[in-house]
Amino acid sequence: MALLNPDELSTALAGLDGWRRIDSELVAVVEAPSFQAAVALVVRIAFEAESMNHHPDIAVNYRRVTLRLSTHSEGGITTKDVTLAHVVQAIVNEGCRFESGG
């Protein structure tokens, strides 16, 4: 799987609300309505990610969930990351919100 070139990455980001590129990762910060909702969000994302055999880095700080997507075997962002970001976006939009700026 090839890394996305700058044009492909710009196009991908245009279709992803709440995500931004930081170095070689797609990053989003989500605010959940409660700690329990944050953990539930992580569990849902984990099951989806496992079904895709693609595993994001996830950090939970109370109601705040930080997600980092990168295809480690390729050393950067691929279509696999963009696909998972779209899945995550749909889950987040069901009851949480992306923090402004990413």
pLDDT for the residue 99: 82
Strands 57-61, 64-69: parallel, antiparallel or unpaired by DSSP?
A: antiparallel
pLDDT at 102 over 50: no
Give dist(CA 80, CA 4) in Å, integer. Answer: 10
Quote the pTM value. 0.91
Start-to-end CA span in the chain (Å): 26
Question: Which tokens in the block code for residue 68?
Answer: 């980092």
Domain spanning 6-98, CATH class: alpha beta
Average pLDDT estimate for 33-49:
96
User: If you ran DSSP here, which 8-state letter would residue 34 be given?
Assistant: S
Listed by start position, the domains of the chain span 6-98
The residues pairing with 31 across neighbouring beta strands, listed in sequence order, are: 64, 97
